[in-house]
Amino acid sequence: MLKMPSGIGLITTLFGLLTFAQISAGTTQTSFLSNVSVSTELGDIVGFVTDVGPHFAADIFLGIPYAKPPVGELRLETPEPVEPWSEPLIAHEFSKACFPHYIGDLSTVDTYGEDCLSVNIFRPHVQFHKPSTGWPVLIYVHGGGFSVGSSRHYGYDDISQLFVAQGLIVVTINYRLGFHGFLSTGDEILPGNLGFWDQTEALKFIKKHISAFGGDPENMTVWGLSAGGASSSALSLSPHSRDLFKNVISQSGVVSAVWAQDNAVVNATLELAGALKCNDENSEKLKQCFKAKTPLEFLKAANEIGGARRGVNLLKYHPIIDGKFFPKNILELITEAPPKPAMLGFTDQEALYFTILGLSKSINALIPPKPLTEYNREDFVQAVKTIIAPDHQHSEKASEVQQKIIDFFLSDETPESNHSFYLERYTDLFTELQFAIPILFEAQARQVAGSEVYLYFHNYHNRDMYGPDVPLKGSAHANEYPYMFGRHGVIRHFQWNEDDYKVQRAVVDTIVAFAKTGNPSLPSLTWPKLTSENPLIHLNINPNPVVTNGLLAQKYSFWQNLTNEYDFDYLLYKSKNTGEKFHSEL
């Protein structure tokens, strides 16, 4: 039986867009065996040894600072490297979590503070066999819509039992979130992406010091889901971070998605400034006003203006093409970046998490504003006309585009009263535009640019995860979490069956293989990479994984044709008239 991460019981996933909060429910802590010390150029670090299985112990180092605290004059500035310490650093506790963007996301699990930039390192115990070059390193970037979450939520027990016990070092990191990490005025004064600069500083820290922990700095993989997946994607492309690691895993999120790089954050920042009464139009004075406000004032202001948008881009605070961290647009960066093995994929009902379940309300405004049992054809049509393809998006051709989308998704024969059908189509819209289509786009673009790309489609869910009142069931956003980090589902608790254990082995073992070799294939499973002849070949992840071709080929072709015919890019969900170079065909 798997053990839950330390002090964790209930999992409530947040957009990952997203992350999850794990709340203590009386679960058993792993046993503390002894202290363990590592000497680094910065000073000694004292962790502890713990049993995580009947025949395996792990060394745990928690809350190691990788940058100076971003407080005072360092608030809203790019991070500075941490300074050495003179006394041994006792690394027995997780650091404070970075503040979320919304007051409703403050959790009793975490203590919060701006002094939150830390890493946690989990390695096999020193008596465990180590390769001559050191253990491969797997670095997990948490999700949470760039707005919530922390590394504490993932614990260390399950990570150690599932990944470290297979001969890896795993590192989890904190980075600034929401307004502290991603607000932007769209100019050089507050260009944005501070959370990405934090992640980059963490990678530099790990690259420099991981050999002291027995890790191989030349075999590091960055991994994340949702916003964490978009982060790993971004880190693999920016010239400031892409040479710091070898492989990239992006689950249910890539930087090509509109919610992971969009200039809409500038309007949200100005809206926040108004709520904070920082109304000066001069960006430097605005920045100084921001620096003078307390985190509580920020949280109250964010609460006043609301936490989410009703759109394909749900998020208020997110990355932006800033000319610094991203000196060029994403397609150009994919084209020029050194090839890097990449593992990308998504679930079959990603947006179910938002559209029907209505989870992560602080960064979600997609649940229909009426009872689900009353949802009908007209509601779907209005979603297309007001959210997906509004009039201003195409001016005189708006009705033409809207009708093409409606005709593609709806059948004239469908009864008006079949609310489940229309809810499923509504969910399909957002699954495709928020997740599936940009991931397929990026996977193919990376392959064309010379990277070895492995694509997956997670289409399994435990049927006990949903109650009878849920009209649509599937593998929702973040459905992989229980298989990677703990045994409870993202929707509700469910009793594991044999299929769940098979799925867990498929998910975990392919990640481990990829982190070690850059190829997720197993002795019992050959997972082929994308090719120009097979640009949509993929692994279906379920109890009996199988390789299939043509993932969402018809749907991808539909959105690509709309993109090529009209003045809006539906593959990346942005206007072609942004000043960025536009792709027509890969």
For position 119, which CATH number holds? 3.40.50.1820
Question: Is 350 among the residues known to form the active site?
Answer: yes
What are residue 45's DSSP bridge partners?
38, 89
* DSSP-derived secondary structure for 1-56: -PPPSTT--EEEEEEETEEEEEE--SPPPPPEEEEEEEEETTEEEEEEEEEEETTE
Instruction: Kindly state whether residue 574 falls inside one of the protein's structural domains.
Output: no
The confidence score (pLDDT) of residue 104 equals 78
Place of tokens 């589902």: 489
Tell which wins on pLDDT, 490 or 119.
119
pTM attached to this predicted model = 0.93
| Residue in 573, 566, 177 with CA at minimum distance from that of residue 396 | 566
- Active-site position among 114, 201, 350, 432: 350
Residue 40 lies in a domain: yes
What the block records as the tokens of 227 is 């916003």
Q: What is the pLDDT of residues 543-555, one digit of tens each?
A: 999 999 999 999 9
Question: Tell me, what DSSP letter sits at residue 201?
Answer: H
pLDDT at 380 over 60: yes
Q: What is the pLDDT of residue 30?
A: 59
Q: How confident is the model at residue 268 (pLDDT cuts 50, 70, 90)?
A: very high
Give Cβ neighbours of residue 494 (< 8 Å, ≥ 6 apart).
462, 464, 465, 488
Q: Among 82, 80, 112, which residue's Cα sits nearest to residue 95?
A: 112
Considering the candidates 477, 488, 538, 583, report the single residue annotated as catalytic: 477
pLDDT tens readout for residues 3-39: 323 332 222 333 333 333 332 222 334 578 899 999 9
Instruction: Indicate whether 19 belongs to any domain.
Output: no
Contacts of residue 507, Cβ cutoff 8 Å, sequence gap at least 6: 458, 480, 483, 484, 541
Q: Mean per-residue pLDDT for 244-254?
A: 98
Average pLDDT, the chain: 90
Helix, strand, coil shares, percent, the chain, to 5: 35, 20, 45
Looking at residue 168, its pLDDT comes to: 97
Residue 374 lies in a domain: no
Work out whether strand 56-65 and strand 10-16 pair parallel, antiparallel, or are unpaired: unpaired
In terms of residue numbers, what domain contains 129?
32-338
Per the CB < 8 A criterion, the answer to whether 479 and 570 are in contact is: no
Residue 409 domain-assigned? Answer: no
Residue 80 among the catalytic residues: no
What pLDDT, in 10s, does the model give residues 481-506? 999 998 666 778 889 999 999 999 99
Instruction: With cut-offs at 50, 70 and 90, classify the pLDDT of residue 586.
Output: very low
Share of the chain above pLDDT 90, in %: 81
Residue 1 in this model has a pLDDT that exceeds 60: no
Q: What is the pLDDT of residues 453-476, one digit of tens each?
A: 999 999 999 999 998 889 999 999
The Cα–Cα gap between 194 and 182 comes to: 6
Q: How far apart are CA 70 and CA 567, in angstroms?
A: 42
Q: For residue range 314-373, what is the model confidence (pLDDT) as tens digits? A: 999 999 999 999 999 999 999 999 999 999 999 999 999 999 998 888 888 899 988 999
Q: For residues 514 and 243, give the distance between their C-alpha atoms in angstroms, rounded to a whole number.
A: 18
Q: What integer pLDDT is reported at residue 103 of this predicted model?
A: 82
Q: How many domains does the chain have?
A: 1
Residue 130: pLDDT band (50, 70, 90) is: confident
Give the pLDDT band of residue 280 (cuts 50, 70, 90).
confident
Output the pLDDT for position 28.
Answer: 37
Task: Please tell me the predicted confidence (pLDDT) of residue 6.
Answer: 33
What does the alpha-carbon distance between residue 166 and residue 139 come to, in Å, rounded to a whole number? 15
Residue showing tokens 């992350």: 19
| Residue 277 burial (10 A CB sphere; 0-12, 13-18, 19+) | exposed
Task: Evaluate whether residue 366 is within a structural domain.
Answer: no
In a domain, 55, yes or no: yes
Output the pLDDT for position 109. Answer: 64
Specify the pLDDT at position 579. 46
Asked whether residue 362 is assigned to any structural domain, the reply reads no
d(CA 212, CA 495): 41
The least confident of 181-185, 363-367, 405-409 is: 363-367
Give mean pLDDT, residues 305-310: 90
* Catalytic residue selected from 184, 226, 250, 252: 226
